[in-house]
Chain A
């Protein structure tokens, strides 16, 4: 497969602070990469540099093999969908979608109509943004980004302003939309679930570097370091070298006298998710909080966690 987007040795420094440290990665044509990380980790800065809204301190950005590092945002063949739909309020839905296409000299009436059809808003073509709902607005924003036929589409937390139900529906819709058209895209989010849902690969970003880039399954099965394990939330990190997947933590001693470690915890809260009782447990000796199914235990109750030694795994080190 040919590379669609390539970033090499990218650094960004604001005054004394390093926001990005030697970031490199390659995206193949049609691939979707999710970038997830805590707020302030630099992921939005990375996206803005790719879009041409900020300049990197050093490093290069190439789209389809061409170096675009010094090109301005309006000269790059990529599009960015912001957190807010940012539709132009004085233009109709159709005029909004056509805006970029006209500038890119790709203003084909049939394409605009088929895009309107794809986002299910054909009958709203002549409506103004204020006359349609938030979810519909975000769909128009996506169609507007698509209409310029960009090489790459970047998404900066595009669903975060929508309510949870709408968000869920739109995520899957966008995922299919991009996959059908084989559009290379990057999704920036702080929601791990969204990252795994949207991306072929998921990149965990923190302190200016990628902690790990892998398929969601690999990421989940073998986190590279304590940050990844903690951020994904599916593991109990024992120390900087070792962790155990939460499903392997037992609430009773292993049956066959297997070697194990025991930790004491206290149930701080109880919530109910996916039809299960989830206990939010604090383990004093590790100073860690974990969430796992706890059966019929209730708040303030103490419990023992039995960790079979065979299930405890070592971190395999940074892998990007």
Chain B
């Protein structure tokens, strides 16, 4: 057991902490040519190049806004559908479950053009709402699955108990279900934000060049081959899911019956 623990720490340091540290150092120094035996020469140029991009702040804002919107809709759809799938039994349930997974079985790009035409027709092309909706396609199936499992783990007796004690469904959601499904909410938060943030093609198609998100600013930098700037950008990029995660954690602290971190 103790040996396993040590192995875990060694592997975690090697595979997670070390690469992050190197990334951070690289973003703060000139391109490191370690094979020449030279050390790191620290500088902040990469960040000034990054910040000099006129679209950086607006793209970051759009990415956060779209990410938050996608997360919120994912939570609403995921919780409602997940609960229904976990607690109800009805004819054709396996079929419904398969259909719900379909969006991640078919590449989004394959249907993006068709969806684009549809969005134009209903007036959602080139709008934030249109982008949010298209981002739901690769995220919602995961959220439903995660919440379905979370509800299944809670079990129906645990969901019936508050009802017996006189709780209505909404009160039950906030006092029992959400507090007990925090791990699922955290998973959905990270997964949704990261997937939404990484969408380049579908955002470009549906956003029509009007909605500029971070990947669109990021991709042109790939040509520079300047690893310092790339590292700085990666750090910037990774701050968004982290910031939204912290925000979600703060919101979770507001749930009733939360054990505050400083309470023993």
Bound together, the chains give a CA A103 to CA B171 distance in angstroms of 10
Q: Does B224 contact A (CB under 8 A)?
A: no
* A104-B161 contact given A88-B176, A90-B257, A91-B257, CB 8 Å threshold: no
A74 to B179, CA, bound (A): 20
Interface size of B as a range: 10 to 19
Are B165's CB and A100's CB within 8 A?
yes
Of the residues A79, A90, A95, contact of B180 by C-beta under 8 Å = A90
In the complex, are the beta carbons of B167 and A103 less than 8 A apart? yes
A84 CA / B157 CA spacing, docked (Å): 9
Given A88-B257, A90-B179: A148 touches B157 (CB 8 Å cut-off): no
Bound-state Cα–Cα, A197 to B10, Å: 60
Known: A84-B157, A86-B157. A73 touches B164 (CB 8 A): yes
A90-B179, A90-B257 given as contacts; is B171 within 8 A of A51 (CB)?
no
Q: Is the CB of A148 within 8 A of B166?
A: yes
**Which residues of the partner chain A approach B179 to less than 8 Å between Cβ atoms?**
90
Measured CB to CB, the nearest residue on chain A to B171 is A103
Q: Is the interface of B mostly helix, strand, loop or mixed?
A: helix
How many chain A residues touch B (CB < 8 A): the figure is: 23
Docked complex Cα distance between A99 and B257 (Å)? 11
Q: Is the CB of B73 closer than 8 A to any CB of chain A?
A: no
Q: How far is the CB of A211 from chain B (nearest CB, A)?
A: 28
Cα–Cα distance between A72 and B179 once the two chains are bound (Å): 24
Instruction: Tell me whether A86 and B161 are in contact (CB under 8 A).
Output: yes
> B165 to A148, Cβ gap below 8 A?
yes
B249 within 8 A of A: no
User: Chain B contacts of A74 at CB under 8 A?
Assistant: 163-168
Interface residues in A73-105 (C-beta closer than 8 Å to B): 73-75, 79-80, 82, 84, 86, 88-91, 95, 99-100, 103-104
Cβ-closest chain A residue relative to B259: A90
Question: Does A53 reach chain B (CB closer than 8 Å)?
Answer: yes
Contacts of B180 in A (CB 8 A): 88-90
User: Which B212-264 residues have C-beta < 8 A from chain A?
Assistant: 257-259
Q: Which chain A residues lie closer than 8 Å to B166 at the CB level?
A: 74-75, 100, 103-104, 148
Q: With both chains docked as a complex, state the minimum distance between the C-beta of B257 and any C-beta of chain A, in angstroms.
A: 5
Taking the complex as formed, is A144 at the interface, i.e. its CB lies under 8 A from any CB of chain B?
yes
Chain B residues near A148: list those with CB within 8 A: 165-166
A87: nearest residue on chain B (CB-CB)? B161
Query: Chain A residues near B61 (CB, 8 Å)?
Result: none
Q: Which residue of B lies closest to A92 (CB)?
A: B257
Interface residues of chain B, those whose CB is within 8 Å of chain A, are 157-158, 160-168, 171, 175-176, 179-180, 257-259
A-B pairs, 6 with minimum CB distance: A100-B165, A103-B166, A86-B161, A73-B163, A80-B164, A90-B179
Apart from A74-B167, A82-B161, A103-B167, 12 more pairs, CB < 8 Å = A53-B164, A73-B163, A74-B165, A75-B166, A79-B165, A84-B157, A89-B180, A95-B257, A99-B175, A100-B167, A103-B165, A103-B166
